[in-house]
């Protein structure tokens, strides 16, 4: 992973400060506020809807349905695809950053995504346990 290689290669004190600040901003802004508080509950709610009567195609494409790139009403569908386009644009832009800045941003993004995955698994397990208790 580029971020770990960047840290292993050594950073200046300024770059360590930048890494700390960027990582904190990404983990809080993207990991906690965007993923944990908004996206994870939305994905789990859409996953729960798959238990109801939905077209068979949605069951076959359940991950795409859960993240909202197929099946939601107009604005939500537009927002999901705009998010996909924004992620692609960010990847293209960050891939042009010089080292060590690309590695610093990659590590911050990976940390935020890891936080989001942990929250998705944690909240998903809580949802399953709550459903089993009923």
Domain annotation covers residue 1: no
Q: Look up the pTM and report it.
A: 0.86
Q: What pLDDT is stored for residue 57 in this prediction?
A: 87
Domain annotation covers residue 26: yes
Domain annotation covers residue 42: yes
Domain annotation covers residue 6: no
Q: Which domain holds residue 84?
A: 13-133
Q: Does the pLDDT value for residue 132 go beyond 70?
A: no
- Give 59 or 85, the one with higher predicted confidence: 85
As for how many domains the chain has, the answer is 1
Each as own residue / partner, the long-range contacts of residues 45-51 (CB below 8 Å, 24 or more positions apart, any chain) are 46/71, 46/72, 47/124, 48/127
Q: Does the pLDDT value for residue 131 go beyond 80?
A: no
Domain annotation covers residue 8: no
Domain annotation covers residue 23: yes
- Give 132 or 14, the one with higher predicted confidence: 14
Domain annotation covers residue 126: yes
């Amino acid at each position: 992973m580029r971020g770990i290689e960047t840290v292993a290669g050594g950073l200046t004190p300024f770059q360590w400060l930048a890494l700390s600040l960027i990582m904190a901003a990404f983990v809080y802004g993207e990991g906690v506020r965007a993923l944990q508080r908004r996206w994870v509950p939305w994905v789990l709610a859409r996953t729960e809807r798959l238990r109801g009567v939905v077209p068979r195609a949605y069951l076959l494409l359940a991950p795409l349905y859960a993240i909202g790139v197929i099946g939601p009403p107009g604005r939500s569908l537009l927002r999901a695809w705009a998010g996909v386009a924004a992620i692609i644009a960010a990847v293209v832009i960050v891939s042009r950053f010089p080292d060590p800045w690309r590695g610093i941003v990659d590590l911050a993004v990976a940390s935020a995504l890891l936080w989001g995955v942990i929250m998705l698994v944690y909240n998903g397990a809580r949802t399953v346990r709550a459903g089993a208790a009923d």
